[in-house]
């Protein structure tokens, strides 16, 4: 029997990237996964001009042995979120795993200019898409977990540290979802519902592969453009991290904290789909002679500044 056989999951923001990888690996572990997002087959979102759809993600869940259910939802529209949760209640009667990976900020992040020269309108929209959507989804989905007094909530962020992330609006968004996991854990402390945050490493998302002009088959060639790409990971790696957390009967001990895919891989003994076990923190220390932490913020900031120009379109999670 698979470890998540019979479990019901909702991956909000499952169209591509980490969300798709998480949904697929929850399926690999046996779960039924509701895959939501704004890009459905024949009905693309108005945001990034990307070909991926939630229907494809649901099919990947099926192919891995789970059951994928694609539902087109704009998580910034309360009526659509309510309808989604009511559907899950009607069809399943429970929700065991909630993953918030809603982003939609690809065209909004401004790296380079200081905050006083950036667009306030873009910053506001980023918060609405990448923070308010999480709050709204939690507001309506978490009660389904509390009713059964069980469940795992995962907030997907960028980085497991307090170091600066290169752009003030972006930094605030990614730190906010970490704080959201912590705040929910406090209010859920008398229940058996666990809230925490998870970060992938240097993500080999669909857009990142395209940016470097490579495919998953020859992705290592991307390291010719940016050497750190050699320590990148597929979206399935963080997917296996979330699946391992969901299968852990003692996951409640992790409530309120943020965890990295590379550390969870060591703890739960899983690999990426190619059999590798990339560890971003160790790569950083080997390459730059400094630990990946705010203990040496100057070294980290210097590396970040040099990397931004190379990796702008789909800023990877470090």
Number of domains in the chain: 1
Q: Does residue 214 belong to any structural domain of this protein?
A: no
pLDDT of residue 314: 42
Domain that holds residue 48: 8-205+234-279
How much is the pTM? 0.92
Region 116-129: mean pLDDT is: 93
Tens-place pLDDT, residues 155-209: 999 999 888 888 899 999 999 999 999 999 999 999 999 999 999 999 999 989 9
Q: Does residue 221 belong to any structural domain of this protein?
A: no
Q: Is the pLDDT of residue 315 over 50?
A: no
Q: Does residue 43 belong to any structural domain of this protein?
A: yes
Cβ neighbour number for residue 1 with a 10 Å cutoff: 6
Q: Does residue 104 belong to any structural domain of this protein?
A: yes
Give me the sign of the Cα torsion angle 239, 39, 10, 170.
Answer: positive
Region 234-248: mean pLDDT is: 98
Q: How far is CA 179 from CA 131, 175, 185, in A?
A: 11, 6, 10
Q: Is residue 282 classed exposed, middle or buried when 0-12, 13-18 and 19+ CB atoms within 10 A define those classes?
A: middle
CA 257 to chain CA mean position, Å: 15
Q: Is the pLDDT of residue 316 over 50?
A: no
Tens-place pLDDT, residues 37-82: 998 887 776 556 788 899 999 999 999 999 999 999 999 999 999 9
Catalytic residues: 170
Q: Does residue 291 belong to any structural domain of this protein?
A: no
Tens-place pLDDT, residues 249-308: 999 999 999 999 999 999 999 999 999 999 998 998 888 876 666 545 555 556 556 665
Q: Does residue 310 belong to any structural domain of this protein?
A: no
Tens-place pLDDT, residues 144-156: 999 999 999 999 9
Q: Are 240 and 275 in contact (CB under 8 A)?
A: no
Q: Does residue 292 belong to any structural domain of this protein?
A: no
CA distance linking residue 281 with residue 303, whole number of Å = 13
Tens-place pLDDT, residues 75-97: 999 999 999 999 999 999 999 99
Provide the CATH number for the domain around residue 126: 3.40.50.720
pLDDT of residue 302: 61
pLDDT of residue 47: 58
Q: Does residue 99 belong to any structural domain of this protein?
A: yes
């Amino acid at each position: 029997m698979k470890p998540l056989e019979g479990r019901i999951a909702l991956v909000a923001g499952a169209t591509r990237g980490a969300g798709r990888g998480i949904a697929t690996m929850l399926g690999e572990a046996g779960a039924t996964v509701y895959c939501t997002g704004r890009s459905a087959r024949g009905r693309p979102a108005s945001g990034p001009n990307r070909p991926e759809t939630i229907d494809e993600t649901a099919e990947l869940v099926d192919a891995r042995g789970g059951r994928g259910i694609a539902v087109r939802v704009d998580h910034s529209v309360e009526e659509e979120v309510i309808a989604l949760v009511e559907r899950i209640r009607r069809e399943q009667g429970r929700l065991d795993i909630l993953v918030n990976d809603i982003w939609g900020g690809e065209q909004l992040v401004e790296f380079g200019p200081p905050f006083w020269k950036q667009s306030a309108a873009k910053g506001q929209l980023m918060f609405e898409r990448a923070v308010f959507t999480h709050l709204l989804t939690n507001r309506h989905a978490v009660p389904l977990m509390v009713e059964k007094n069980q469940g795992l909530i995962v907030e997907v962020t960028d980085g497991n540290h307090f170091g600066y992330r290169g752009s003030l609006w972006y930094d605030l968004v990614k730190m906010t979802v970490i704080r959201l996991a912590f705040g929910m854990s406090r209010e859920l402390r008398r229940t058996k519902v666990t809230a925490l945050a998870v970060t992938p490493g240097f993500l080999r998302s669909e857009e990142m592969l395209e940016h470097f002009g490579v495919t998953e088959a020859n992705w290592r060639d991307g390291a010719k453009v940016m050497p750190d790409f050699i320590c990148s990971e597929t979206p399935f790696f963080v997917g296996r991290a979330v699946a391992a957390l969901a299968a852990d009967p003692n996951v409640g001990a992790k409530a309120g904290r943020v965890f990295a895919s590379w550390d969870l891989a060591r703890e739960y003994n899983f690999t990426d789909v190619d059999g590798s076990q990339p560890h971003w923190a160790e790569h950083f220390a080997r390459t730059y002679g400094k630990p990946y932490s705010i203990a040496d913020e100057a070294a980290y900031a210097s590396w970040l500044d040099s990397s931004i120009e190379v990796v702008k379109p789909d800023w990877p999670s470090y």
